[in-house]
């Protein structure tokens, strides 16, 4: 089969991956599943993996097929799989968990002590077929296209995971801010709008992203290149600040907003990454706000997000590319030229 493989780390996105022939995956255990990939979302994390940013955090045997946002049709199952059968459309949680460790028993599947992460620690879905497990697949309701929903496997549940935590602390009339209305941010914005009665403000340097935010429920729009974010949010919130800030950029400049725009007792959720948090400890004590880290959501949260999609509460803005276009997508994302989410269709 054809697969887009990472052979060595590089900052040159024009030649990050090599599309080549590899052996298709096979069933080796009773709970395994093989999926014919119909859609695989491209994530900023894919760019970071190509750059080698994850090498010190997780084992990465190279060459490796990237792609952790996958959906498609089941073609083969292990002998004890009964959740899905050949021919079933599914979306695949990127993490294959053991189900036995304490973290799994507590439902904190993202902290599994013996997990495999497609496209990060093991082969992913920028290929014609994907090897996964019964614990990772979610059957799709009728009428949901696997290509359209694929990015929800990571972008969607990461955004939903953060939004769900924020919504638990949002009261009607509170202000929430979404920084970065890109592949994750436009999903997070819709989740906040669907699950809370908060007043929403979107921050982005791209007018096209702000147009998307306006379509998906943002009451106020701020372009940092045209207005001072701190002063504008101070006016919008009558000086109280935002109860919850969802930072889908995670750059030094955006995390630095926190002491000035986050309400006392509020949270600045760091979802995007690549920058740093450089704030004096006194700023956190004075405002009693928190920086909250977020990683991809749980299996159950992907189920909940699929329900929101089925109900029409969350829409995914996508553009489609062939497998041969993987490096073009990486370059376009690096230049900030993709609105919403790019989906590879092997």
Q: What does 15-49 look like in DSSP terms, one character per residue?
A: GS-EEEE-PPP---STTEEEEEEEEEEE-HHHHHH
pLDDT of residue 255: 96
The token duo for 26 is: 């096979």
Mean pLDDT over 188-196 rounds to 96
Domain parsing of the chain, residue ranges: 2-154+296-344, 157-293
Mean pLDDT over 182-211 rounds to 95
Mean pLDDT over 149-178 rounds to 95
Q: Are strands 116-117 and 95-96 parallel, antiparallel or unpaired?
A: antiparallel
pLDDT of residue 288: 92
Mean pLDDT over 114-126 rounds to 95
CB-CB contact of 185 with 248 (8 Å):
yes
CA distance 42 to 55: 19
pLDDT of residue 23: 97
The string of pLDDT tens digits covering residues 232-289 is: 999 999 999 999 999 999 999 999 999 999 999 999 999 998 899 998 899 889 989 9
The string of pLDDT tens digits covering residues 7-62 is: 999 999 999 999 999 999 999 999 999 999 999 999 989 999 999 999 988 989 99
Strand partners, 73: 36, 89
The architecture of the domain spanning 2-154+296-344 is Alpha-Beta Complex (3.90)
The pLDDT mean for the chain works out to: 94
pLDDT of residue 200: 98
* Alpha carbon of residue 186 to chain centroid: 11
- Residues counted in the chain: 346
Q: Are strands 175-179 and 242-247 parallel, antiparallel or unpaired?
A: parallel
CA distance 183 to 155: 7
CA separation, residue 120 to residues 5, 123, 124, 318 (Å): 12, 7, 8, 22
The string of pLDDT tens digits covering residues 295-325 is: 888 889 999 999 999 999 998 888 999 999 9
Report whether pLDDT(71) > 90. Answer: yes
Fold of 157-293: Rossmann fold (3.40.50)
CA separation, residue 297 to residues 119, 142, 154, 155, 193 (Å): 16, 24, 8, 9, 19
Assign 3-state DSSP to the chain and report helix, strand, coil percentages, each to 5.
30, 25, 40
Q: Are strands 199-203 and 116-117 parallel, antiparallel or unpaired?
A: unpaired
Identical topology for domains 2-154+296-344 and 157-293: no
Mean pLDDT over 52-79 rounds to 95
Binned at pLDDT 50, 70 and 90, residue 339 comes out as confident
Q: Give me the percent of the chain exceeding a pLDDT of 70.
A: 100
CA distance 263 to 200: 14
User: Does an H or E element contain 263, and which?
Assistant: strand 262-270
* Alpha carbon of residue 242 to chain centroid: 23
């Amino acid at each position: 089969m054809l697969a887009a493989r990472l052979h060595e780390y590089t900052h040159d996105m024009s030649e990050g991956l090599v599309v080549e022939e590899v052996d298709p995956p096979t069933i080796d255990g009773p709970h395994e599943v093989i999926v014919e990939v119909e859609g695989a979302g491209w994530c900023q994390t894919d760019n970071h993996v190509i750059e080698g940013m994850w090498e010190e955090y997780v084992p990465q045997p190279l060459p490796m097929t990237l792609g952790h946002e996958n959906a498609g049709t089941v073609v083969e199952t292990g002998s004890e799989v009964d959740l899905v059968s050949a021919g079933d459309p599914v979306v695949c949680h990127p993490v294959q968990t053991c189900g036995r460790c304490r973290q799994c028993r507590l439902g904190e599947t993202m902290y599994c002590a013996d997990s495999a992460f497609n496209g990060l620690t093991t082969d992913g879905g920028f290929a014609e077929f994907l090897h996964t497990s019964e614990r990772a697949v979610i059957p799709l309701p009728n009428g949901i296209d696997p290509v359209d929903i694929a990015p929800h496997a990571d972008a969607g549940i990461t955004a939903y995971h953060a939004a769900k935590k924020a919504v638990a602390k949002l009261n009607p009339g509170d202000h929430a801010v979404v920084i970065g209305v890109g592949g994750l941010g436009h999903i997070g914005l819709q989740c906040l709008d669907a699950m809370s009665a908060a007043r929403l403000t979107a921050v982005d340097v791209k007018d096209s992203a702000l147009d998307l935010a306006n379509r998906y429920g943002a009451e106020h729009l701020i372009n940092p290149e045209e207005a001072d974010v701190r002063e504008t949010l101070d006016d919008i919130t009558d000086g109280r600040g935002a109860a919850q800030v969802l930072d889908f950029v995670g750059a030094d400049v955006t995390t630095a907003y926190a002491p000035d725009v986050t309400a006392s007792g509020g949270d600045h959720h760091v979802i995007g990454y690549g920058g740093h948090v450089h704030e004096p400890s006194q700023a956190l004590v004075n405002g009693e706000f928190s920086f909250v880290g977020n990683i991809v959501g749980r299996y159950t949260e992907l189920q909940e997000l699929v329900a929101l999609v089925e109900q029409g509460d969350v829409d995914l803005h996508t553009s489609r590319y062939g497998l041969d276009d993987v490096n073009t997508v990486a370059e376009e994302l690096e230049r900030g030229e993709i609105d919403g989410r790019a989906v590879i269709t092997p």
